[in-house]
Amino acid sequence: MSLAKRLQEERKRAGLTLDQLAEKAGVSKTYLWELENDAKGEKKPSADVLLRIANAVSITIADLLSLPSVRIDESKVDLPQSLIDFRDRMKRLGESLTPDDLRDLVTMRFRGGQPRTAEDWHDLFRLMKRATSKE
């Protein structure tokens, strides 16, 4: 199913108008309209925009994009050194990361890769927290 059709379907399922979704997701109404009417799939919204839209209609990006998804079991996951550095920095600042925060971060992949520096992990963490915070 196309992103256009899926987006429109999920917006309607959530009982939102274009105006309401635009406000809730922090995206312009015009851009949402363009996404919903992009039958050829030419629009390529950023991951940030997709995450804000998905959160606004209470689904995951994978659901919005009709991608297969799985739940991660409780198996051990190795942390890259840059994430360990970020975790230690946050602990020194008195803002320790929870095990769930670490799991969420370590399982994220963007085009097959992950952040390479503690600063990049910090940027991703702030984005993740901002996108998932309750308003």
Can you give the pLDDT of all 135 residues of the chain as single tens digits? 788 999 999 999 999 999 999 999 999 999 999 999 998 888 889 889 999 999 999 888 878 887 765 455 556 667 888 989 999 999 999 999 888 888 888 887 776 688 889 999 998 898 888 877 654
Q: Tell me what pLDDT residue 135 has.
A: 47
**Same domain membership, residue 14 and residue 42:** yes
Q: Tell me what pLDDT residue 22 has.
A: 95
Q: Tell me what pLDDT residue 98 has.
A: 87
Cβ contact 32:18 at 8 Å? yes
**Same domain membership, residue 60 and residue 88:** no
Separation between Cα atoms, residue 44 and residue 50, nearest integer Å? 10
30: Cβ–Cβ under 8 A, 6 or more apart, which residues?
none
Residue 110 DSSP SS3: strand
Task: Answer yes or no: is 74 within a domain.
Answer: no
Task: Answer yes or no: is 7 within a domain.
Answer: yes
**Residue 17 belongs to domain with CATH number:** 1.10.260.40
Domain coverage including residue 8: 3-64
Q: What is residue 66's DSSP assignment?
A: T
CA 53, 21, 34, 40 dihedral sign is positive
Contacts of 79-82 spanning 24+ positions with Cβ under 8 A? 79/106, 80/106, 80/114, 82/115, 82/116, 82/117, 82/118, 82/120, 82/121
Q: What is residue 18's DSSP assignment?
A: H
Cβ contact 11:18 at 8 Å? yes
CA 58, 60, 64, 68 dihedral sign is negative
**Same domain membership, residue 124 and residue 87:** yes
**Same domain membership, residue 59 and residue 92:** no
Closest CA to 115 of 93, 88, 135, 85: 85
